[in-house]
Amino acid sequence: MPFTPAIMEEMNLLLQFDSASLERGIKVHSDARPEVIEACQSLHTKGLVSNDDGGYLTNAGIEAQTHAQALSGMLRPEAAAVSEH
């Protein structure tokens, strides 16, 4: 299954949470791009964030963020250059 634009928005939103401090949430404002608002609402529906406008990562959200960070790191252009050596 390919990544849809909606899934990419969700992954990008997960990456905006501070993984160093789980006590820092985010707030998606009503004037954000509609795609970001929809992504946040979807993450809330899936149980990954505490509120439909952001809040904090749930336990499942922390796990999802960890996977998103790992995938993001593997797909960076620098990662490809390192693996070729």
Q: What is the mean pLDDT of each run of 10 residues along the chain (85 residues)?
A: 95 94 92 97 98 96 96 84 58
Q: Number of structural domains, the chain? A: 1
Q: What pLDDT score does 80 carry?
A: 61
Helices 5-15/34-45 angle, 10° precision: 80
Q: What pLDDT score does 49 carry?
A: 97
Q: What pLDDT score does 77 carry?
A: 84
Instruction: Give pTM, 2 decimals.
Output: 0.86
The DSSP-derived string for 16-36 is TS-TT-TT--EE--TTS-HHH
Could you tell me the residue range of the domain that residue 29 belongs to?
5-83
Q: What pLDDT score does 51 carry?
A: 97
